[in-house]
């Protein structure tokens, strides 16, 4: 299996937004499938659960697949996937999620929550990444406290012996904190900053990282 897993320091850090950007970037040179194996907080529309994040990912890629294939497990509850699945009587397992990630082409998989968020019975996002064996992109909201969040996430990934492709500091609001420089003092992991006002710099950095290690 060849691809990337998008995770982060938690919820609301911009995982889906960064995943969309990476998907669009890679579709210039590859056929790209997407998977959001499990999604909570789905809206009920005419009796069918709609996974908003999975839909956004699907629209960004260049392979047309059914939303049920992109996102196999959909839950209405706004909770961890583990709790949401239990609430409807489904015994969701790691094997179920691994199977839901399978794709014929290069695949970008987005997790639910952070690396240590529970997503199935005795299963964290980190366990899923280990099983599908693809590099991980860690998305961190670029704000005060980002250094701590980035280092915690990096340490967690390294504890599980995950291959970290890069850490993306998602600068939702411009700041002068220079968190990238601060984080670089404590790790050799690739750190890149996403800033709407300097997209060319971001693209140059991810091109060097992704094309240099993934698309050979």
For 172, list phi and psi in degrees, rounded to 5.
-65, -40
What is the Cα–Cα distance from 60 to 21, expressed in whole angstroms? 8
Q: Which residue has the tokens 């995943």?
A: 19
Q: What is the pTM of this model?
A: 0.94
Q: By C-alpha distance, which of 137, 200, 197 is closest to 169?
A: 137
What is the Cα–Cα distance from 109 to 43, expressed in whole angstroms? 21
Give Dmax over CA atoms of the chain in angstroms.
52
Q: Would you kindly state where each structural domain of the chain is located, as residue ranges?
A: 3-213
36 is catalytic: yes
State residue 213's pLDDT score.
Answer: 64
Structure tokens of 12? 């609301």
State residue 24's pLDDT score.
Answer: 93
Cα distances (angstroms) measured from residue 51 to each of 2, 193, 216? 24, 28, 33
Tell me which CATH code domain 3-213 carries: 3.40.50.300
Sign of the dihedral defined by the CA atoms of residues 34, 59, 149, 39, in that order: negative
What is the Cα–Cα distance from 26 to 165, expressed in whole angstroms? 15
Tens digits of pLDDT across the chain (216 residues): 899 999 999 888 999 999 999 999 999 989 999 999 999 999 999 989 999 999 999 999 999 999 999 999 999 998 888 899 988 999 999 999 999 999 999 999 999 989 999 999 999 999 999 999 999 999 999 999 999 999 999 999 999 999 999 999 999 888 999 999 999 999 999 999 999 888 889 999 998 888 766 655
State residue 212's pLDDT score.
Answer: 67
Displacement of CA 185 from its chain's centroid (Å): 25
Strand order in the sheet with 32-35: 32-35, 106-110, 3-8, 136-141, 164-170, 191-194
Write down the catalytic residue from 2, 15, 31, 36.
36
């Amino acid at each position: 299996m060849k691809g990337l897993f998008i995770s982060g320091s938690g919820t609301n850090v911009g995982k889906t937004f960064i995943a969309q950007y990476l998907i669009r970037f890679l579709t210039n040179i590859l056929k790209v499938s997407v998977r959001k194996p499990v999604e909570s907080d789905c809206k009920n529309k005419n009796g069918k659960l709609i996974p908003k994040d999975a839909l956004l990912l699907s629209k960004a890629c260049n392979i047309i697949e059914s939303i049920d294939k992109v996102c196999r497990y959909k839950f209405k509850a706004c909770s961890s996937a583990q709790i949401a699945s239990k609430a409807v009587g489904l015994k969701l397992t790691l094997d179920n999620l691994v199977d839901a990630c399978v794709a014929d082409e290069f695949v970008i998989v987005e997790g639910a929550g952070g690396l240590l968020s529970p997503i199935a019975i005795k299963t964290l996002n980190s366990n899923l990444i280990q099983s599908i064996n693809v590099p991980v992109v860690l998305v961190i909201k670029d704000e005060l406290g980002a250094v701590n969040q980035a280092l915690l996430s990096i340490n967690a990934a390294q504890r599980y012996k995950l291959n970290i492709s890069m850490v993306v500091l998602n600068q939702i609001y411009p700041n002068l904190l220079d968190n990238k420089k601060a984080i670089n003092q404590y790790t050799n992991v690739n750190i890149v900053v996403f800033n709407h006002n300097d997209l060319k710099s971001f693209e140059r950095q991810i091109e060097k990282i992704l094309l240099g290690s993934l698309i050979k």
